[in-house]
A and B are shown apart, each in its own frame.
Chain A
């Protein structure tokens, strides 16, 4: 068959119709959540942390025992129906003390991490955004602070201030924000030369808009990962300081002081050491595993 011009007719292609997108729209964070849900280890850690937080809030409220009443007649009891985790050398209920300790540990961990976050993001953000001399001076100050031995700072602070939760938080944050500041600065340096930032500038965006609409949202992934790994460090530091006697003062319970008190009795009353030690370890492990999971979820390319 002979094909002539008449056999053909132009069909108009509408670009708009040919380019429909079938995949459901997912924002970045919805995608992160989807990937995180696939990571079983991270999800178990997340559930553990949520349960831990809920118990720390509600268990001390709902129990008849309190963390400071002594009962010398019932000291060093084994775990039982009445005292689930047994009692300590002054007859105080270990179960309640563990959850009070959880309150202190979580409080220290979360508040210290949030303060690190705020100082670190502002410091690193300014240094990275403005660059040049500003960056140089700000990061050298951070380096100098970082070089002061941290135990020295803590001991000095304990001499000046009263031992307690606030002092521990101040001690932890005085140098703790530097890690966050470095991460944020690095992100800023990398992001600010990207074309979308240039595009926003050519539209006339001011520094505020650039920082809060373009730079910070894109740096949020690494910031959250760093945050989630700062919390277990702070919890560990609190336990450690309390363990060596630089932390919270009696009768307040903290996992560190409880371990410290339980240590001499390890041979005869092992549960007095075991319970706080297990809680410290598992909590720190859970936060670390969740942090790793978050890192993989935020940037899947990092997963090996």
Chain B
């Protein structure tokens, strides 16, 4: 992993939404890199800004501040024409397989739309390409004239994957692609994503809240809390030795498939709810629920820094 080049670089990305007179800081100053061919898992509670981060990264939302570099080139200042070309490199797989496919279009047209937009194939070639993509995600190519409602959740998610692959992207943001699926189908979809990654050299940003699934698929994992990134490390290192108290609490929530250990181990149970992102606590956002909070935590924001090699965290415990 060390010597791979950087595909995506995110610098101080911010995305604020104004709601009435308030500002919702959905993504508040996050920076990270994604290396070519790796999978970066992003975990956090609902509403912590993971999906917003993924969408802002692809410029589906206009960023409030910050920059995103794809292969060293900033995508934030591209004009419409350049951005359209850039979209061939970066794609997205969505969370809800029922809402992410247009119910009035056939599967062939849904997948073919990418080909039409970028003028990649027409006529017979378009048909062949669509069938090829359907086979790639293990769907029957004859189903291209069917409508989305005729498919199951897992099949629909694979249609969504085929659509994203149609433009031959290098980078795919997977926005909780399995959280709406049955457990039995989750494995199918995750395995498909892994196979495709191997076959096509894809790079993933895998957003999820299922920690064990993230551990399984990710090379590195980032943890987000209230719009901030609190910890980022290699998957192994993060699960072996979590530094941030929030990460420790999250990890202790993973059930262990051994009744003996499961019964006797002690969990870190966080108290209270996530504070409103409209009005986050001063200093460290996590301090209101942190079991190790110190006076310092309220006074100033912790700095995002590399504590061990490749292991980043933002916490006053490590100053």
A residues contacting B by CB (< 8 A) are 15-17, 19-21, 23, 25-28, 194-196, 198-206, 209, 213-214, 217-218, 220
Contact = CB atoms under 8 A, between A and B. Distances in A.
Contact of B103 (A16, A25, A28): A28
B87 A217 contact: no
Contact of B167 (A19, A27, A203, A213): A203
A235 B102 CA distance: 36
Contacts of B151: 21
Contacts of B99: 194-196
A287 to B, nearest CB: 26
Contact of A16 (B102, B118, B135, B160): B135
A23 B163 CA distance: 24
A13 to B, nearest CB: 10
Interface string B92-114: 10111001111111000000011
Contacts of B146: 21, 25
A16 B140 contact: yes
Given A202-B60, A203-B87, A204-B118, A196 B101 contact: yes
Contacts of B88: 204
Nearest to B90: A202
By DSSP majority rule, is chain A's interface helix, strand, loop, or mixed?
helix
A25 to B, nearest CB: 5
Interface of B: 55, 58, 60, 80, 83-84, 87-88, 90-92, 94-96, 99-105, 113-114, 117-118, 135, 138-140, 143, 145-147, 150-151, 155, 160, 163, 166-167, 188
A258 B212 CA distance: 78
Nearest to B55: A198
Given A195-B96, A199-B92, A25 B145 contact: yes
A204 B87 CA distance: 6
A200 B94 contact: no
B93 to A, nearest CB: 9
Contacts of A17: 140
A218 B104 contact: yes
A121 to B, nearest CB: 16
Contact of A204 (B83, B102, B135, B145): B83
B94 A198 contact: yes
A222 to B, nearest CB: 13
Contact of B163 (A19, A199, A213): A199
